[in-house]
Every structure is written in C-alpha cells, then in structure tokens.
A and B are shown apart, each in its own frame.
Chain A
Amino acid sequence: MESAKNNGLARCHECGLVCRFQPNSQCPRCDAKLHLRQPHSIQKTWAYLITACIFLIPANFMPITLLVSQGKATPDTIMSGVYALIDEGSTGIAIIVFVASILVPLAKIVGIMIILVSIHFRLKISHKLRLLMFKFIDWIGRWSMLDLFVISIMVAVIDKGQLLVIVPGPAATAFALVVLLTLLAAKNFDTRLMWDMEEDNDWTN
C-alpha cells in the first residue's frame, strides 16, 4: 500500500513531480501526460526484444566487415574478428570486443527476458537483485556500440583505393539494429512493475 500508485498518486515521468492521478490529466509542472505506469511497457519491451533476437542471427553469422585487397574480398564475422585478434596476440582487445559485441547484446536480451518472465509468472526473486540486474544491463547496453564505432574508424582510416579498403558488411546494419532495439527495450521497461506485483500479492493475501 505504500506506492504512489496505490495512493492514487502518479510520479511524472518527465519531471518527477508527484501529483494526484486522473486519467488523461497533465503534469501541472511540466505539462507531460501523466501515467501511473509506462503504457504497454511489457508488450513494447517484448516486441523490441523479439525483434532484436531475430536480427541477432544475421548480425553474428554474416560478415561485419570486408577487407578488399586488390579486388579480393576477405569477409570477417564478429567472431572471426575476435579469433584474428587472439592470433595477433591482442588477447585483451579480443576480450573487450567479445564482451561488447557478443556477450552484452545477448546478456541484455536474455536478462530482460528473465525479468519479464519472472513478472509474468510472479516468481519469487529478490526485487533488489532483479533491479540491480536491470540497472547493470541498462548501463552496460550502451557499450555494445563499441564495435560499430571501431568499424567506422577503421573504414575511414584504411582507404587505399585499389590496394586496401575496409567496407562494412551486411551484419553491421543488423548489429546496429540489435543495439538500437535493445536500448529501446530497456528504455520502455518500467521497473516499478516488479514492485507492483509484490504489493498486489500483499493485497490479495
């Protein structure tokens, strides 16, 4: 009974002002439309996650960069790029790229899905732990942009016309979509839903 929602109050998502909630009312301070919770949060989050999952396949299995040297193209997937780095002896960089491009997007999708499933089935998982997990996922998500930034720098620098060029492959676009979709998924997820369930349980008991 201690949440703002259960007291008929809404916290404005733009400015944080707590005010009495009426359907279709506006925040008196910043004029934003008031919602008790983000509308359709769970449905939207699922939609973004499922779409991200689909794009994850081409992102990982198609070439992300093509090294074109004297008319001959050498494709590189994310994983083969990581292997190449290990072979060159830059294990540290290989780990960074692996974490940012493979582990983070995957962990983000799986992690948010676990949270959504646990809300749906009302699983008894520590709320604090779940929130901590979500915050970590949300924070680390932006780091998956790393590989795209690296590609943009490499493409710009290595441009020797006929001799040697790097061009982004089809996986680069797919990967960019995965990054964008997972960022949107995290942005649309309303963490307050995790506590609502707990309070609703108290209420039914």
Chain B
Amino acid sequence: MTMTKPQLSACSHCDLLIAPYQPQRPQDIKHSAKCPRCGSHLYHKAQCQPSTILALSITALLLLIPANTYPLLAMTMIGTTEKVSLIQATVKLYQEGNFFIALLIFICSTLAPAMMLLSLACASYLSIFHTQSPRLKLFLKWVDHLSHWSMLEVYLVSFLVALIKLVDIADIELGVGLICFSLLMVTNSLILTLFDPSDYWDRVTVNGIS
C-alpha cells in the first residue's frame, strides 16, 4: 500500500503546519519552498534520481580508499623524508596515547564519511529495487545522523592551514592522496546538494496508514 494521498507536512524548525501543495498544471510544480513563518527550507524536489545518487556515492566510496591510504604529502626535513596519509596521521595520535582525540578525528574524517556514503549507496539501491525492505528505513536514518559528523571540508581546509605552517620549515611535495581527497570532498558536497531525504522517505512503503 503506497501513500497516494498528499500529506500534511510541518516545518522542522518551527513546527508550522503546511498544507499539501497540489499544483493544477505541471508547469506550476515548484522545486523548492520555504516556510512562511521562519524562512527555513521546507523541501526541494529531487533534481535527480536515486540512481544518480547511487552512482555518485559509489564514486565517492572508491575515492575514499586512496584518499585515506595514499600520502597526502611528503615532507623533507633534516635529510629525511616523511610521507603521511590521512589514516597514518590518525593512527599516530592513537599510538602516542591520545585515544580520545584520535577517535574523534577518526570519526569525523574517515568513519562518518565512509559510513554515510555506504548507507546512502545502500538506501539508493533499495529505494530503486526494494522499497519494501525494512533496511531502507535504517539506512536513511543512518545517513541523517552520520552526515552531522562527516567533516571532509573542514579537514581539507585544515590541511591547507597545516601546509602553510610547514612550507616555511621544510620541503613539501603534495601526494596522490590529496588529489583523491579533494575529489572526494567535491563529490561528497555534490551528493549533499542533490540528495533529498524526503524524496527517499516518500518511496518507503507504509503499512496501515493513508
């Protein structure tokens, strides 16, 4: 049983009830709307299909591997060269006994982005092929929670700050990891702009209500 009746909605920021929007003509369909009371973004009708999101998240997941394991930079100082990848930087903190900081950094720079993209890929796959699956709901919830902790853009800016601090004291060579990481960040931002959770939720099959 799918929901065909237009649903009443409410603004997530101020709880204002919003009447279902029923355009008379196809050209009247709006692609986005704002709450009349608080100005928050209410929805944006998906500009793209779940298949596009699926393709993009698989791309991002593939980029994630070299972005984490290939060196971000190689630094030559006092005769020796040090190559550092994202995951190595986190592991180093852990080895030195800073468990808590290492864990927080690991979550924000590696775990949350990876799990978010993986959940999104699974949710996209299920919303195309198995809308009945109870896992679809679970993945959609994970995407929402994990996206708060995924901080790729902050990491990239931090990397630039570290780079500017380092160029004065050592010879720096940028690594392949940095290119992959930048591409990952761009893909990730693109996904976040295109992905509309309400569109996915509307595809979830609901039992017993109309």
On A, residues with C-beta under 8 Å from B are 2-5, 7, 9, 11, 14-19, 28-32, 85, 88, 90, 93, 96-97, 127-128, 131-132, 142-143, 145-160, 163-164, 167-168, 172-173, 176-177, 179-180, 183, 187, 191-192, 194-196
Contact = CB atoms under 8 A, between A and B. Distances in A.
Contacts of A7: 17
B93 interface: yes
Contacts of B204: 15, 29-30
Interface stretch (B23-31, B51-59, B76-84, B186-194): B76-84
Contacts of B198: 16
Main secondary structure on A side of the interface with B: helix
Contacts of A149: 105, 109, 154-155, 158-159, 162
B74 to A, nearest CB: 9
Interface centre among A16, A154, A159 (most CB of B within 10 A): A16
B9 A18 contact: yes
Contact of B101 (A97, A128, A173): A173
Contacts of B78: 160, 163-164
A90 B104 contact: no
Chain A CB within 10 Å, residue with most, of B72, B77, B208: B77
A4 B101 contact: no
A152 B89 contact: yes
Contacts of A131: 13-14, 38-40
A5 B72 CA distance: 50
Interface of B: 7-10, 12-17, 37-40, 72-73, 75, 77-78, 80, 82, 84, 88-90, 92-93, 96, 98, 100-102, 104-105, 108-109, 137, 140-141, 144, 148, 151, 154-155, 157-159, 161-162, 164-166, 168, 197-198, 201, 204, 206-209
Given A18-B8, A155-B89, 4 more contacts: A29-B209, A145-B108, A176-B104, A191-B13
B153 to A, nearest CB: 9
B15 A4 contact: yes
Nearest to A165: B96
23 contacts: A9-B17, A11-B9, A14-B141, A30-B137, A30-B201, A131-B14, A145-B104, A147-B158, A150-B161, A152-B90, A152-B102, A152-B105, A153-B72, A154-B162, A155-B92, A156-B84, A160-B77, A160-B80, A176-B101, A183-B148, A187-B148, A192-B13, A196-B15
Contacts, number: 185
Contacts of B13: 131, 191-192
A32 B130 CA distance: 21
Contacts of A194: 14
Nearest to B106: A152
B201 A146 contact: no
Contacts of B105: 145, 148-149, 152
